[in-house]
Amino acid sequence: MALEVLENRINKFYKKKPGCILVKNGRVYPGLFYQNNSESFLHTKEKKSMSNGGRSSFLDIIIGFLCIILALPIFILVHQQIPNPDWPYHTDRILLMISIILLLFLVIRLFRVLILVGILAACGWLIYGSLNGGYSFNDVYYDYRAMIYGMKDDPNFAGLITNGGSSFPYRREFVTAMDEKSPAVRQFAVSAINEHFKAEQQEFEEYRSIIQSFAIFKKINSHWNYVDDPQSREYFANASESVKLMAGDCDDHSILMAAAIESVGGKPRLIHTTGHIYPELLIGNKNDLEQLNYLIKQKLFVEESNGQSINYHQDGKGNIWLNLDYTAKYPGGPFMKEEILGVMTW
């Protein structure tokens, strides 16, 4: 009886202060809630567990969001550094992206504080790059956009060309005719650059030189008129002559294209086939091809390349070369179906 009275006094004292103790049947229950004089109980540990579970689920959502955000630039960097196996349906890239997201999720959960510092450091690095002309948020966006576009619209690999210029006919005549130091050739090239793609040259500064070469390509190929050589001999018009006439055969077109591009710092080469000669332009590596594939088809030659593929050759060093033939309406247009006999570089 005395015990029951003591219990009632204790419970009466704590009934308006939940979260401390409850005495019932001679036993003390620390950490239990007693509310409204009822005998319903809720263990503090269980409530804490529920609260932690809610926080944990919310934290997992935040971590998942961070994983996706971080996975994009990491995927771009990893994708650019590893060889491309060219699996069907881009399975290799899809698996790489999933693997990066899962790995990030595990690492972030294990090392939350360290990862947070890393995220802040990466953001700081990108901010610094944005302010000082280095790798910036815009670069991440452009790289990711070009990569995604390349996944749905792959350029067409037309083959590996590694042979040199020993089998290239009339090599000396071509070198002499490419008078890229002529003021007329330089003036023509600069005029074409000022006429086409001025905004894109500023927006995509990393590829400014290549975009300027594309401007020269557009100027020449939109005005070129094919004229045969005399039947009795080969005639090689100097580039300084062709800028005035904008006419000639494939030799003359190749000479003018190569000379004009070289006069503004581009890197062309000439390809000799069984019945044709045409110019190509060095654009860089596979990563540059992804960027330029997007620029050609979505910015520079939208109508000309609509529904078409970018065609390219690769040399023994992994460099990518685009077709600039007079038969092409856009850089990287279709190749003529002829056997390649030689390459002329200088």
In this predicted model, what pLDDT tens digit does every residue of 183-227 receive, in sequence order? 999 999 999 999 999 999 998 999 999 999 999 999 999 999 999
Same domain, 79 and 218: no
- Residue 127: CB atoms within 10 Å: 12
Residues 133 and 268 in one domain: no
Q: 241 versus 89: which is more confidently predicted?
A: 241
Average pLDDT, the chain: 81
Rounded to 5°, the CA angle 140-268-147 comes to: 20
List the alpha helices (DSSP H) in the chain.
2-14, 44-81, 91-110, 112-132, 137-152, 171-177, 183-195, 198-203, 208-221, 239-245, 250-262, 286-295
Listed in sequence order, the residues at least 6 apart from 188 whose beta carbon sits closer than 8 Å to its beta carbon are 219, 243, 260
Res. 151: pLDDT tops 60: no
Please tell me the predicted confidence (pLDDT) of residue 345: 92
Judge if 108 and 171 occupy the same domain: no
Tell me the Cα Rg of the chain. 35
Cβ 284 vs Cβ 128: under 8 Å: no
pLDDT band at 5 (very low <50, low <70, confident <90, very high): low
Q: Is the confidence at residue 82, as pLDDT, over 80?
A: no
Domain that holds residue 6: 1-42
Q: Are residues 113 and 68 in the same domain?
A: yes
Of 346, 160, 167, 185, nearest to 267 (Cα)? 346
Last residue in a domain, options 128, 152, 176 = 152
The b/e string for 188-209 (b: 16+ C-beta within 10 A; e otherwise) is bbbebbeebbeebbeebeebbb
Residue 210 confidence (pLDDT): 98
Query: Do 167 and 198 have their domain in common?
Result: yes
Lowest mean pLDDT among 19-28, 131-140, 232-241, 272-281: 19-28
Same domain, 38 and 179: no
Cβ atoms of residues 194 and 216 within 8 Å? no
Q: Report the range out of 95-104, 210-219, 269-278 with the highest average pLDDT.
A: 210-219
Query: Once rounded to an integer, what is the mean pLDDT over residues 339-343?
Result: 91
Q: What is the CATH number for 320?
A: 3.10.620
* 16-33 pLDDT per residue, tens: 444 454 545 545 555 444
Tens of pLDDT along 238-264?
Answer: 999 999 999 999 999 999 999 999 999
132 assigned to some structural domain = yes
Total domains present in the chain: 3
Tokens 């934290």: give the residue. 59
Say yes or no: 133 and 80 in one domain: yes
Scan for tokens 């070129």, then name that residue: 224
Note the pLDDT of residue 10: 53
Cα–Cα dist 316/161, whole Å: 7
pLDDT score at 37: 44
Residues 26 and 65 in one domain: no
Question: pLDDT: is 26 or 305 the higher one?
Answer: 305
260 in the same domain as 114: no
* 133 band by pLDDT with thresholds 50, 70 and 90: confident
Establish if 50 belongs to a structural domain. no
**Same domain as 269, residue 218:** yes
| 53 found inside a domain | no
- CA separation for the pair 30, 282 (Å, rounded): 78
Q: Within this chain, do residues 91 and 189 fall inside the same structural domain, yes or no?
A: no
Residue 15 binned pLDDT confidence (cut-offs 50, 70, 90): low
Q: Between β-strands 247-248 and 225-226, what pairing exists: parallel, antiparallel or unpaired?
A: parallel
Residue 47 falls inside a structural domain: no
- How much is the pLDDT for 164? 55
Question: Of 84, 117, 152, which marks where a domain is finished?
Answer: 152
CA atoms within 13 A on the CB side of 53: 6
For residues 164 and 109, what is the distance between their CA atoms, to the nearest angstrom? 55
Other C-beta atoms within 10 Å of 158: how many? 17
User: Do 142 and 177 belong to one domain?
Assistant: no
